[in-house]
Amino acid sequence: MTATEELLQIERVTKVFTVGSFFFKTRINAVENVSFGIKPAEIFTLAGESGCGKSTIAKIILGFEEKTAGEIVFENESIAHWREKRQLFIQKVQAVFQNPFESFNPLCAVDDIFFETVYNFHLVQNEKEAIPFIDERLKAVGLSFSEIHSRYPSELSGGQLQRASIARALLTNPSLLVADEPVSMVDASLRMSIVNLFARLREEMNLSVLYITHDLATAYYVSDRIAVMFRGNIVEMGPVEEVLLNPRHPYTQLLRDSIPEANPHRKWKGSVRVANVEEEEYLQKGCKFAGRCSLAEERCRVDFPQETLVDGVLVRCHRYN
Amino acid sequence: MRKARGLFYDLFRDHRFAVAIVVLLSLLFLALLSFFSPYHPQRMYQVARGCPPSWEHILGTSWLGQDVFWQLTFAVRNSLIVAFVTSAISRVIALFVGMGAGYRGGTPDRVLMTIGDTTMVLPLLVVLVVISTILREWLRYLSNLGLLLAFFSWAWDARVIRSQILSLREREFTFVAVLSGMRTMRLVWKQYLPHILPIALTTFINNMSWAIGMEITLAYLGLGIDPTVPTIGTMLQAAIYRQALFLGLWWWLLTPIVAAILLFIALYWLSVSVSEYLDPRARFQRVGLGR
Amino acid sequence: MSFVKKCLVPRLIQYFLVTFLGLTTAFFLPRFLPLDPVEQRIAQYQAFGVYIPPEQLEEIMNTLRQLYGLQGTLWEQYGIFWRRLFMGDFGPSLARYPTPVIQLIVQSIPWTIGLLLLTTLFAWVVAILMGGVAGYFRNRWTEILDGIVMVMRPIPYYIMALLCLIVFAYIFPIFPLSGGVGIGREVSFGFDTIVSIVKHGALPALTLLVVGIAWQFQSMKLIVQGVRSESYVWYARAGGVRERKIIFHYVIRNAMLPMITQLGLQLGTIFSGALVTEMVFAYPGVGWILYDAVMKGDYNLIMGIMCISVVAVTTSILFLDLVYPIFDPRVRYR
C-alpha cells in the first residue's frame, strides 16, 4: 500500500448484482473496474444519468454495500482496516442524501438525530453544551436550533430539511462528505446556496466532497475534477473545465449538448437515439454506449475500450485508442 | 397529554370505536363483578335448577343449578384472561422475532421464517387437537392454554413486522441513523419501534379475538381447560352437552353465545377503527376523498 | 420450457419441503410432548377398573406401541412412519378396531371436499363481485351491506354454525339437525338421495358461505377502494372506456390478484373452519370423525387426519400458486 497524497483512493472497484432466483441468475455489473482518487480539500464530481452506478459507489464507500472486487483506501488505510474502526470511519466520512424528507425518520423529531450524533461521538463535554453546539452548526447553513426543535419532518420545507441534513453531516467535522444528488430535490435558489456552501467548506474546513449529480451546470460551477460514468464504467475523467468545455467521449458530448440553454436560436440535436432496456445495456459486450452512439463502429460492439490519457483527461473510447 | 386527548376525541368520532369501547367496558365491568359473586363458580346445584330469568336470577339458572348471570361474569373474566395472555405473549415473541429476523437477515432470518411458516401452514385445529389430547392434564390451567395458543399465533405477525423492517432498512433515514453513530440494537429500538407499534396493536386486538374463538372451539371438543372452570367456551359446551335446547333452557345456551358475539364484534370494530386511524391511507378512503 | 425450469421446479421443491416439514412435525409432535400416549391409555383402562395382570402388562404395552407406531428408537419409528405413509397405512382405528384408519378417512373425505370446494368457490366468487361493486360505488346499499358484514365477519365458524343450527333447525325447523343423508339411507345416485344430501348439507354450507363471504367481502372492498384511485383507472375513464368495462376488467381484475394470494394464506383456516362446522352439524366429513376420534381417544385416527390435512392444505396452496399466472399476466411472461 503506497502512501499517496490522496484522501480517498478507489481502484478497480467492481460490484456485481445478481438478479433472479434459484437456478437462473443474471449478473449485472453495476460498477465495473472503476478507479479514481479524491485529494484533500477537493470537490470531485461523479456525473451520469440514473442507473449508471454512481449511487452504488457512494454506498460502497460508506460501507452500506460490499464491493465484489477492488481496493478502497482512505487516509492510507484499506477499507478492511476501517471496518473494524467503524465509528472512527463514520466520524471522518459523512453523507448527505437526495431526498430531504426521507433522510429523517417521519415519526421522530428532527433534532433527535442531532443529539444522537453529538452523544454518540462525544462531541461535547456535558449535556448543557449540546444545544449551543448544535445551534452554532445550524447557523452555518442558515438555520437555527429553535427552527428545528421538536419539529417533525413534515412540518419543515424541503430546503430547510436538506440544510439540516448537511448540518448534521458536518457535526463530526468530517474530512470527506459524500453528497448523493444533494440539490436535485431542492429549488433553484437554494441549489446555489448549498453548492456555494460546499465551496466555502472546502476553503475553510479543508473538506473534500464527492459530489454525485446528473446536473452538469452545478458540477461545472463548483467542482475541481469530474468523472463521467455510463452503465458502470467511467468513460471520461479529468479537470472539470477540460471535460465539460471540450468533451472527448461521445457520451460526454451528448450530455453537454443536452444542457438546456435559454437561447431560442440554439436547438437540441436533431436525431436522438432512445436508450435500450437498462438490463440489456448492462449486459452488452463491447462498449456499453455503442447502442446509442452516433459514431459507433463495428469494433465498438465487440471490443471493450480501454482507458487512454488524452491531454490530461482519461477517456474510454475506441476513437482514442 | 394534549396529544393523547386529541387522539381519543378523533377516535371517538368513529362510531364503531365508540360502540366497541362501550361494549368492551361493559364486559370488563362484568368481569370485575365476578369478584363480588355470591356463588362459587365451580360448585354445582347451588340454586334451583332450570329456572327462567326472573328478578332473583337475572339470566335464569342452568340445569346444573348455577346462576347463569354470575357464571357469565366468571366466564367473561376467564376468557378475557386467556385472550390477554395469548396476545401479550405472542406479541412479544413476534416483536423479537420480527425485529431480529428483519434486521439481521441471513440464516437466522430464514430459519425463523421457516419455523413460522410451518406453524402457519399446519391446519391449526388438528394440531391443537393432537396437542390437547396428549397434554390434557397440563392444559387445565388458563395460563397454559394462553401459552399454547400464543405459540401458534406469533408467526403471522412476526412476518408482517419483519417485512416492515425490511422496507424500513432500505430507507434513507436508516443510513443517516447509522451515520449518526447508532448501533444496531438502539437503532431498531428507537427508530423502528414507533413504526411497528401500530401494527402490533391492531394484531394484538385481532389475536385476542382469535384466542377466544379457539378457546371456545377447544372447549367444545372437551379439550382445553377444566370444564368446571367457567369460560365462555365451557359454558357453551356445558349447555350443549346437557341438551339445553331440548330442555327448553334457551337462556342457558343463548347467554354465552350472545356474550361471545358481543365480544367478537366489539374487538373487531375496535381493531378496524384503530387500524384505520393509524393508517392514513385507509382514513382517506373513509372520508370519501378517494372518489 | 424455461417456464417449467424457472418457476415450476423451485415451487415444487418448496412444496415438497414444506409438506415434508409439516409431516415431520406431525410425527415429532406427540413424541416430544412429555406424556406417553401408551401409558396414558393404560392409565385410562385401569381407571375404568380393568385389571391387567403385570405379566401381560409388558405385552399389552408392546402391542399398543406397535399400533401407535411408537416402537423402537426414534429413527426406527421415523422410518416406519414414512414407510407406512407411502403405503397409505395409518394403522387401525382404535375406536373402531380393526377398521383401518385410511378407510375411515377415505370414506369421509368426499363429504368434506364436496362441502369445502363448493362453498369456498362460490363464496369467493360472490364476495369478489359484491366486494368489487361495493368498493367501487358508495351509496346507501353498499353502506348497509358493509354494516351487515361488519357484524358478521368477526363471528367464528363455530358460533355461526351454532346460530344457523338454532335458527334454522330449531326455531324454524326447516332443515334437519344432523347427518349427511337421512338415517338408514343407502347412498345411491337416485334423485331422492341427492335431495337428501342437499337438505342435510344446506346448513353447513350456509355457515361456510356466510363466514367465507363476510371475510372475502371486506378484504375485496378494501383492495378495490385502493385500486379505484390508481392512476390507470383515471386514465381509462379519461380515455372514455365504458364504466362497466372499467369496473370489471380494470378494477376487479386487478384487485383479484391479492385476493388469490390471500385465499392461499387462509386455506388452512378455512379448512379448520369446515371441520368445526361439520362437528356441529354431525356432517359425516373429516371433521365429524375427528370429533369422534377425540372423544374416544382414537390416537391413530387423529394422527391420520393430521397427516392428510397437512398434505391437503399444502397441495391446495400449491395448486393456487400454479393457477395464479393464469390471472396475472405479469408473472406469465417472466
CA A79 to chain centre: 18
Chain C residue whose CA is closest to B129: C294
pLDDT tens for each residue of A242-280? 888 888 888 888 888 877 777 777 766 665 666 666 666
Using an 8 Å CB-CB cutoff, list chain A residues near C6: 22-24
Flag the least confident range among B68-72, B92-96, B217-221, B246-250.
Answer: B246-250
How many CA atoms lie within 13 Å of B181's alpha carbon, on the beta-carbon side?
22
A14 beta partners = A69
Residue C192 has a pLDDT of 66
Residue C308 has a pLDDT of 82
pLDDT tens for each residue of A47-73? 988 777 888 899 999 988 888 888 888
pLDDT, mean of residues C135-161: 81
Chain C residue whose CA is closest to B126: C306
Domain segments of chain B as ranges: 2-286
Residue bearing the bigger pLDDT, B282 or A159:
A159
pLDDT, mean of residues B6-17: 74
- Contact status of A21 with chain C (Cβ, < 8 Å): yes
Q: Three-state SS for A26? A: strand
Residue B5 has a pLDDT of 67
The mean of the pLDDT values for chain A is 84
Residue A211 has a pLDDT of 93
- Closest Cβ opposite residue C271 in set B123, B138, B223: B123
C18/B137 touch (CB, cutoff 8 Å), yes or no: no
Flag the least confident range among A129-138, B243-252, C57-66, C185-194.
Answer: C185-194
| Residue B283 pLDDT greater than 50, yes or no | no
Count how many pairs of residues, chain A against chain C, have C-beta atoms within 8 Å.
11
| Residue C297 pLDDT greater than 70, yes or no | no
- Chain B: give the shortest CA distance to residue C30, in Å: 7
- Helix runs in chain B, H state only: 2-13, 15-33, 68-104, 106-121, 124-134, 142-169, 172-179, 184-187, 193-220, 232-241, 244-247, 250-278, 280-287
Among B4, B45, B59, smallest CA distance to B256 is for B59
pLDDT tens for each residue of A288-320? 887 778 777 788 877 788 888 888 888 888 887
Residue C171 has a pLDDT of 67
Under the banding of pLDDT at 50, 70 and 90, the label for residue A25 is low
Please give the share of chain C, as a percent, with pLDDT higher than 70.
Answer: 79
Chain B residue whose CA is closest to C275: B125
B220/C18 touch (CB, cutoff 8 Å), yes or no: no
Residue bearing the bigger pLDDT, B92 or C48:
B92
Domain segments of chain C as ranges: 38-87, 106-327
Sheet holding A225-230, edge to edge: A93-96, A176-180, A208-213, A43-47, A225-230, A233-239, A313-316, A307-310
Under the banding of pLDDT at 50, 70 and 90, the label for residue B285 is very low
Neighbours of chain B (3+ CB pairs under 8 A): A, C
pLDDT tens for each residue of C11-35? 777 778 778 877 887 777 766 655 5
pLDDT tens for each residue of C49-104? 777 677 777 787 777 777 666 666 777 777 777 777 777 777 777 666 667 778 88
- Rounded Cα gap, residues A51 and A183, in angstroms: 18
Residue to mutate among A22, A24, A25, with most C CBs inside 10 A, is A22
B176/A113 touch (CB, cutoff 8 Å), yes or no: yes
B178/A64 touch (CB, cutoff 8 Å), yes or no: yes
CATH number, domain B2-286: 1.10.3720.10
Residues in chain B, overall count: 291
pLDDT tens for each residue of B103-126? 777 777 777 877 777 777 677 777
- Closest Cβ opposite residue B194 in set A62, A107, A121: A107
Q: Write down the architecture of domain C106-327 according to CATH.
A: Orthogonal Bundle (1.10)
Residue A169 has a pLDDT of 93
Residue B139 has a pLDDT of 65
| Residue C172 pLDDT greater than 80, yes or no | no
